[in-house]
Amino acid sequence: MKEGVIDVLMYIFSSYIDNDDILPEDRESIDANLREAGFESQEIDKAFDWLDGLALAGDIPSLSQSKNSMRVYSLREKQRLDTRIQGFLYFLEQSGVLTPELRELVINRIMALDSDNMVDMEEFRWVVMMVLFNNANDQDESTMMHYEDIVFADQPAIFH
């Protein structure tokens, strides 16, 4: 099976988090489960590195910015995030799903994926959810389910 890091991450997230299964405490058990599912060791190692980066980035300093501020993307970021994804990221921030800090963490984690290809919408949505769940300590379950509905909706929600 030739899969990328994002595929390993999506598998971990959907197998454990989304199904309320208990994530094994040790990496060896997770690694064994991933190998059994057909993932290659190199991609598994890269996925663990990506998750380590997510865990380390949890202590993000607060960003003070005006509500009128606009995020300007670097050339490298534009090569990974098309205008549709940039617009959806803006929508998620404006609707309160993402804070400016979490927006930056989402961009950071997308840029940390082991690829130079444009990120597609499905991959983007999974990264957003992984970031949200990793930083959900002050969110209740219904709020997280609401965020998940917004992130994975075919049409963006309209707020009145």
- pLDDT tens-digit readout, 117-138: 899 998 999 999 888 888 877 6
Is residue 15 over pLDDT 70?
yes
- The domain boundary residue, chosen from 10, 26, 56: 56
pLDDT at position 140, please? Answer: 72
Number of domains in the chain: 2
Residue 157 pLDDT greater than 60, yes or no: no
Domain that holds residue 92: 67-160
Whether residue 111 is predicted with pLDDT greater than 50 in this model: the reply is: yes
At residue 54 the predicted structure's pLDDT band, cuts being 50, 70 and 90, is confident
Please return the burial class of 97, using the count of CB atoms within 10 Å of its CB with bins 0-12, 13-18 and 19+: buried
Q: Is the dihedral of CA 23, 24, 30, 33 positive or negative?
A: negative
Identify whether residues 75 and 47 lie together within a single domain.
no
Last residue of a domain, one of 56, 79, 100: 56
Task: Answer whether residue 62 is part of any domain.
Answer: no
Q: Which pLDDT score is estimated for 23?
A: 55
